[in-house]
């Protein structure tokens, strides 16, 4: 019989394994990201603190990270109003920030 503590540790290590990074395009710049992570995470990790602006010009950033607030909307592959916290990174995706809503 195996030790449940050892099994939990092995499962935890596996959960932290990351795939090889890929390149995505954000506002015309190449950004390194990990496939499967949320686009909001990739944008924040790349130093993009604000991803859209309001109609009055206020800068907004991901807030809830679970698809509720819509503060993280961006354009992905020419499809507007995508919630970046719900979109998974995939190689070659083209992202445009600064969407007014």
Taking CB under 6 A as the criterion, the residue among 24, 42, 72, 93 binding ligand FES is 72
Which tokens hold the place of 79?
A: 């499809």
63 counts as binding ligand FES under rule CB under 6 A = yes
How far apart are alpha carbons 96 and 77 in whole angstroms?
Answer: 8
Taking CB under 6 A as the criterion, the residue among 42, 43, 60, 62 binding ligand FES is 62
How far apart are alpha carbons 16 and 28 in whole angstroms?
Answer: 30
Fill in the per-residue mask, 76 to 95: x = in contact with ligand FES (CB under 6 A), - = not in contact. -------x-x----------
64 counts as binding ligand FES under rule CB under 6 A = yes
* Number of residues engaging ligand FES in binding (CB under 6 A): 13
Q: Please report which residue ranges of 1-101 form alpha helices under DSSP H.
A: 4-16, 39-45
**Residue placing its CB nearer to ligand FES in the complex, 8 or 45:** 45
How far apart are alpha carbons 55 and 100 in whole angstroms?
Answer: 6
**Could you report how far apart the first and last alpha carbons of the chain are, in Å?**
57
Residues of this chain that bind ligand FES (CB under 6 A): 40, 62-65, 67-72, 83, 85
């Amino acid at each position: 019989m195996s030790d449940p503590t050892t099994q939990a540790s092995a499962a935890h290590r596996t959960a932290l394994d990351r795939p090889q990074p890929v390149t995505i395009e954000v506002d015309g710049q190449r950004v390194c990201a990990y496939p499967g992570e949320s686009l909001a995470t990739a944008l924040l990790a790349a130093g993009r603190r604000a991803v859209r602006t309001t109609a009055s010009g206020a800068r907004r950033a991901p807030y809830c990270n679970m698809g509720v607030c819509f503060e993280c909307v961006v354009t992905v592959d020419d499809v507007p109003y995508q919630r970046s916290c719900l979109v998974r990174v995939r190689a070659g995706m083209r992202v445009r920030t600064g969407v007014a809503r």
